């Protein structure tokens, strides 16, 4: 005998599969299924210049995986064919330029999803760049490099924590939750 996957034992009723993700009996919203790899990449390229709204963890991390794979492929092709102009790897550089804006956009939308401003990400990148520049200008270079390395590591840990945090349930000031409907 086949099990009925559309039966809710708590309410002793049949459940419409299209409405399963709307609300649990206690009023809590259901989490929608995770976004797949192809869907995440497609959404990120469709929202190339879109810094508004929210992005789920799956959308962000699948796009990060895509950019890493793209970097690997670009590096492999550069090495295989020797595509360099004045020491710069051509294919890797072109691919990095192509994914630069959608990577920033999805990161900003990811911060929006947890209720933080996208400027958290921008501020972290600016701070890291300034520390790198200042450590090169400082006369006590070893100490400056060590201190900037510690600060960059701390910033990276905070960023990773934020990027791994679950979505805020319901609507926030950046829009409705893409996960909890």
Identify the pLDDT of residue 45: 95
Identify the pLDDT of residue 133: 73
Query: What is the average pLDDT across 146-168?
Result: 88
Query: Which sequence spans correspond to the domains of the chain?
Result: 34-113, 116-167
Task: Give φ, ψ of 8 to 5 degrees.
Answer: -105, 110
Summarize pLDDT for 9-64 with one digit per residue, the tens.
555 455 444 444 455 555 666 777 788 999 999 999 999 999 999 999 999 999 99
Beta bridge partners of 8: 13
Q: How many other CB atoms are there within 10 angstroms of residue 35's CB atom?
A: 22
Identify the pLDDT of residue 17: 46
Identify the pLDDT of residue 18: 45
Burial 4-21 (b: 16+ CB within 10 A, else e): eeeeeeeeeeeeeeeeee
Summarize pLDDT for 81-139 with one digit per residue, the tens.
887 777 778 888 899 999 999 999 999 999 999 999 999 888 888 887 777 777 666 65
Spatial separation of the C-alpha atoms in residues 42 and 57, rounded to whole Å: 15
Identify which has the larger pLDDT, 150 or 148. Answer: 150
């Amino acid at each position: 005998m086949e099990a009925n996957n559309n039966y809710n034992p708590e309410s002793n009723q049949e459940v419409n599969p299209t409405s399963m993700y709307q609300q649990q009996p206690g009023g809590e919203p259901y989490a929608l299924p995770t976004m797949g790899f192809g869907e995440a990449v497609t959404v990120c390229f469709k929202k190339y210049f879109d810094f508004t709204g929210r992005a789920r963890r799956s959308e962000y991390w699948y796009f990060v995986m895509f950019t890493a794979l793209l970097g690997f492929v670009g590096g492999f092709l550069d090495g295989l064919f020797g595509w360099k102009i004045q020491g710069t790897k051509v294919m890797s550089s072109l691919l990095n330029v192509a994914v630069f804006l959608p990577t920033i956009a999805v990161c900003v939308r990811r911060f929006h999803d947890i209720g933080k401003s996208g400027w958290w990400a921008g501020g972290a990148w600016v701070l890291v760049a300034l520390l790198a520049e200042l450590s090169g200008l400082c006369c006590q270079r070893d100490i400056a490099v060590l201190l900037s390395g510690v600060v960059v590591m701390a910033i990276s840990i905070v960023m990773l924590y934020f990027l791994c945090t679950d979505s805020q349930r319901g609507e926030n000031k950046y829009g409705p939750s893409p996960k909890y409907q």
